[in-house]
Amino acid sequence: MPRPIRASFRLSALKHNLGVARRHAPKSRVWAVVKADAYGHGLARVAQALAAADGYALLDLNEAVRLREAGSAKPMLLLQGIFQTADLELVEYADTFIGLLSPHTGCIATVGHVGELGSVAEASARLHALLGHVEQASTLLDQAEKIATGSGGAPTLLRCRLLRAQLREPSAERERELTEVAAESETLGMRGVAERARSTWP
């Protein structure tokens, strides 16, 4: 049964808040996190209200494509990478996103879900894997794992293990690793990662 809850806000307030953030961090780049349809408030209109930001942070490629089609030329930061087969249809955008992400692979991007802390290096690795660039993906996974180890990012380490296993040829060892990743992901409440690990089994 739906709860009778309604959230309202003013686009002018978003513009004001962005200005406040800039005043307090004048030497920093400011990214507007507009993932999940701008948290349900409407991606296009919220992005327009935050047009003074240096770029947009998004959860998946579809949102980025929507902003590009709406005319935005700003840099876009993909927070979580490629996870669904449907994303393969967007492979034509992969090179563009790799170019946008490359300067930030040493950064950590916080995705707004409990237990989801992923590095840009991991998202970049997934894009390279999508394009079949196994060597580049492996190099970026090394970097992502180093970042996650230093920051206590257990979820990122699990996603890196999943991608490494996905890049390997089918074998009993690969299946064993996927089984372990699925089990550990379930323990951490990362059901999406667990499902992807199980769906990779031969």
Would the pTM count as exceeding 0.85?
no
Stated as kind and residue range, the H or E segment containing 164 is helix 154-167
What residue ranges do the domains of the chain occupy? 9-78, 103-202
pLDDT block averages, 10 residues each, the chain of length 202: 74 94 92 86 90 87 75 79 56 65 60 44 79 85 82 79 88 92 86 82 60
**What is the model's pLDDT at position 18?**
95
How far from each other are the two terminal CA atoms of the chain, in whole angstroms? 40
Among candidates 73, 71, 68, 80, which has minimal Cα distance to 55?
A: 73
State how far the Cα of 50 lies from the Cα of 32, in Å rounded to an integer.
7
Q: Would you state the torsion angle of the CA atoms of residues 29, 77, 33, 145, taken in this order, to the nearest 10 degrees?
A: -100
- Nearest-10 crossing angle of helices 154-167, 120-130: 20
28 three-class SS: coil
